[in-house]
Amino acid sequence: MIEYDASVSVEHSTFFLTNWPSDPETHPGKLDLIANLPDDEIVFAGIGGLGFISVGSNHYAAVHVRIHPSVQAAESAGLKPVHSFITHSPELAVVTTMDFPSCVFPAPAQGRIFAEVSCTGRDRAHYLLHEARLDDVRNAEQWTVNLWPETTAY
pTM of the model: 0.92
Is 139 inside any structural domain?
yes
pLDDT of 141 above 70: yes
Q: Is residue 110 part of a domain?
A: yes
In a domain, 154, yes or no: no
What are 16-44's pLDDT values in tens digits?
Answer: 999 999 877 777 766 556 666 777 889 99
Average the pLDDT over 127-139 and give the result: 95
Is residue 70 a part of any domain in this protein? yes
Looking at every residue in the chain, the average pLDDT score rounds to 91
Residue 138 inside a domain? The answer is yes
Number of Cβ within a 10 Å radius of residue 72: 11
Q: Is residue 154 predicted with pLDDT exceeding 50?
A: no
Predicted local distance difference test score (pLDDT) of residue 152: 60
Closest CA to 65 of 21, 117, 26: 117
Q: Is there a domain that residue 46 lies in? A: yes
- Residue 88 belongs to what domain range? 2-149
Would you state the pLDDT for residue 92? Answer: 97
pLDDT tens-digit map of 63-92 = 999 999 999 999 999 999 999 999 999 999
CATH of the domain at 74: 2.60.34
Contact between residue 83 and residue 47 where contact means Cβ atoms under 8 Å apart: no
* Average pLDDT score over residue span 54-71: 96
Number of domains in the chain: 1
| CA 15/CA 30 separation, integer angstroms | 12
User: Would you say residue 96 lies in a domain?
Assistant: yes
Residue ranges of alpha helices (H) inside the chain are: 31-35, 71-76, 122-126
SS3 23: coil
Is beta strand 43-46 parallel, antiparallel or unpaired with respect to 49-53? antiparallel
